[in-house]
């Protein structure tokens, strides 16, 4: 079994810097250029 599969989720995240986690999160939550207008339409 590899070391990464033996770590808990918290321990796995602790391997990364705050900057690395922030960059990954911003990439994950980024709105694609062609989809930016969809953010203006919210459920009312």
**pLDDT single digits (tens) 1-44:** 455 468 999 999 899 999 999 999 999 988 888 877 776 665 55
Q: Residue 31: what pLDDT?
A: 83
Q: 8: domain range? A: 3-40
Q: Residue 33: what pLDDT?
A: 81
Alpha-carbon distance of 10 to 7, in angstroms, equals: 8
Q: Residue 1: what pLDDT?
A: 45
What radius of gyration do the chain's Cα atoms show?
16
Q: Residue 27: what pLDDT?
A: 93
Half-sphere exposure at residue 38, Cβ-oriented, CA atoms within 13 angstroms: 6
Alpha-carbon distance of 28 to 26, in angstroms, equals: 5
Q: Residue 16: what pLDDT?
A: 95
Domain count, the chain: 1
């Amino acid at each position: 079994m590899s070391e990464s599969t033996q770590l808990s989720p918290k321990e796995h995240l602790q391997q990364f810097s705050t900057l690395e986690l922030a960059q990954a999160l911003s990439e994950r939550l980024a709105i694609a250029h062609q989809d930016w207008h969809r953010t203006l339409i919210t459920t009312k």
